[in-house]
Amino acid sequence: MPRSAWDARSAGLFGLTVLAWAGNYLFVRIGLDYASALWLAALRALVGAAGLAVWAVLRPQALSLDGRGRRDALLLGIPNTALFLGLWFVAASRVAAGQAAVVIYTFPLWVALFSAPVLGRRLTTGHIAAVSVGFGGIVLLSQPWSAGASVGSSVALAELLAAAVSWAIATVLFQRRFRAEELPEANLWQLVGGSAALLPAALLVPFGTVPSFGGPLLLSLVWLGVFGTAFAYAVWFALLARMPAATLSAYSFLVPLVALALSVAFVGERIDGVQAGGIALVLASIYGVARGRPAPDPARAG
């Protein structure tokens, strides 16, 4: 089982990753003014893959994945990159950036749930309670009973939840399929696989904005692709190689907090009291998952 190995360097890199991922929500909104959702997702994945390819060439360790490993990583790029980014970006124009971040970062709750059957880590009572609180928070956040709730916003929230589930499934499958030393290279191949799925989708969808490569879109792609993907994914997979998926993912509860702060500060996002309560429940539930430690399943201990 991967073991927690936090040190000052790891904590600092993870802090930068939190900032990178929180800023993604603002830059996605900027990028969508200059490219369709699928084009923006495809370009982000491509820029990220290019950045990681440069890193792979420069790093001292030799590439170690065999043909089957590269194939599996390419396939895992479908849920981890293509579905995750595609669903998120399609929904992003109909949901405020901070709210989108909170829904996406139900991700740790899903990782905790999937870690039980996939990685053999049984949920404790505390985990189950935390997950239940998190689902209650999502209900308050979406307010399906509200007369002002539109079908479009409800569909967008469902798309964001589906994106979080897809990312979580891929995360636990990565930890099950690859050894710790293989994860950084698998990360590169999954981005290639995700790009290969997103590009045809962007070309075939007959609506949306064809990319207009001006300054704002290029700035968005530098943040989303270089900082928010190549750098952040490299750190994420390096840490995933050293600690359980459910534990690591739970620390990412900091991302929606920072994203909400950035949204309030830079785009004037506002939330009502009920939504604030829902956000508090989601963050509390994610913190509860972070505090708990899934127990290994004796049936899988060998």
Does residue 172 form part of some domain? yes
7-11, 60-64, 196-200, 211-215 — most confident range: 196-200
Of 296 and 114, the one with more pLDDT: 114
Does residue 83 form part of some domain? yes
Q: What's the pLDDT at 113?
A: 82
pLDDT tens-digit map of 252-276 = 777 877 887 888 888 777 777 877 8
> b or e along 97-115 (b: 16 or more beta carbons within 10 Å of the residue's beta carbon)?
bbbbbbbbbbbbbbbbbbb
- pLDDT band, residue 291 (cuts 50/70/90): low
Whether the predicted pLDDT of 35 surpasses 80: yes
Does residue 189 form part of some domain? yes
Does residue 186 form part of some domain? yes
Q: What's the pLDDT at 212?
A: 80
- pLDDT band, residue 208 (cuts 50/70/90): low
Number of domains in the chain: 1
Residue range 51-67: average pLDDT? 79
Q: What's the pLDDT at 292?
A: 60
Does residue 131 form part of some domain? yes
Q: What's the pLDDT at 242?
A: 78
Q: What's the pLDDT at 150?
A: 57
Q: What's the pLDDT at 27?
A: 95
Q: What's the pLDDT at 289?
A: 66
Q: What's the pLDDT at 250?
A: 67
Q: What is the pTM of this model?
A: 0.81
Range list of H helices, the chain? 8-31, 37-58, 67-77, 84-92, 97-104, 107-119, 125-142, 151-177, 183-204, 215-221, 232-240, 245-251, 254-267, 273-291
Q: Which range marks the domain in which residue 79 is found?
A: 34-58+67-295
